[in-house]
Structure 1
Amino acid sequence: MGNEERTEDLAQLIKRLKDHYTVTESEIARRIGVAPATVNAWVNRKRGTGRGPNTDKLRALASEFPAFSEVEIFAAAGRKAPGPLNPDAEERILALFRGLTAEQQEMKEIEMRALNERNQSALS
């Protein structure tokens, strides 16, 4: 596998983030909309029943703490950052989706859900 030298995991990144912004795990949790126990589980590398932070929470970290990029945060979580979606592209995709039959829409939704789940669990 090509890129074996990931320099830090999410626990290490959160420690740097806490030091850089002088914030607690509770403050991080409040600002990204999760329970303090959730951030604590990330810091202590506890997997629990989930697959780690979801895309929205990782993006929230980048938004709330901009000294850390989305790419950097997603890499620490063991994932590749999703590509940006501008409003024009989103509108084109919705227009195409609206032109599909109900069955085709259902199939595309299943396909997109599977791709998202793969991205959530796949390592970079």
Structure 2
Amino acid sequence: MVEYEGQTGEDLAQLIQRLKDAYGVNESEIARAIDAAPATVNAWVHRKRGGTKGPRRALLERLAAAYPRFTREEIFAAAGRRTPGNLSDDTERELTELFAELTAEQQELTLIQMRALRNANQQ
């Protein structure tokens, strides 16, 4: 397993078990809380993640929001992913302005680079 941001080797299945114990919830309740199919949470628990990317970022973010005793960092690390940075309104505005000033070719190249970075963070 790849380790990120101080991960101690705990995987998502182990984190979900700790979460269930800490909050007194079951897999179906977790699924409802994060608006996911129960089969999705069950797959995490049984280490049967679909695809090569693992759990979707949105589900991990919702898991962190629904169960705040567990940080985004430890949830993403347990899923084997790097924690995405927070994007402030000012930074988003600046990125949009800078991007708009690029040529069409530069915009396409920038998108390719950004997709590659995103994909690298999901491995």
Fold shared by both chains (TM-score > 0.5): yes
Are the equivalent residues in 1 in contact too, given 2:49–2:55 (CA < 8 A)?
Answer: no
- TM-score (ref. length: structure 2): 0.88
Shift in alpha-carbon separation, 1:28–1:50, aligned structure 2, 3 A? farther
**Could you tell me which residue of structure 1 aligns to residue 82 of structure 2?**
80
Shift in alpha-carbon separation, 1:92–1:67, aligned structure 2, 3 A? same
The alignment yields a C-alpha RMSD, in angstroms, of: 2.1
Query: Matched residues in 1 for 2:47 and 2:24: separation?
Result: 21
Identity of aligned residues (%): 57
Query: Matched residues in 2 for 1:78 and 1:16: separation?
Result: 17
Moved more, 42-51 or 89-98: 42-51
* Deviation string, structure 1 residues 56-97 (Cα, Å, up to 9, x no partner): 211111111101000111111112211211111111111101
Question: Any gaps of 5 or more consecutive residues in structure 1?
Answer: none
Q: Which amino acid aligns with 2:39?
A: A
Query: Matched residues in 1 for 2:42 and 2:49: separation?
Result: 11
Query: Matched residues in 2 for 1:2 and 1:35: separation?
Result: 27
Q: How many residues align?
A: 121
Shift in alpha-carbon separation, 1:5–1:59, aligned structure 2, 3 A? closer
> Shift in Å at residue 98 of structure 1?
0.9
Shift in alpha-carbon separation, 1:99–1:5, aligned structure 2, 3 A? closer
Which of 8, 15, 18 lines up with 1:16 in the alignment? 18
- TM-score (ref. length: structure 1): 0.87
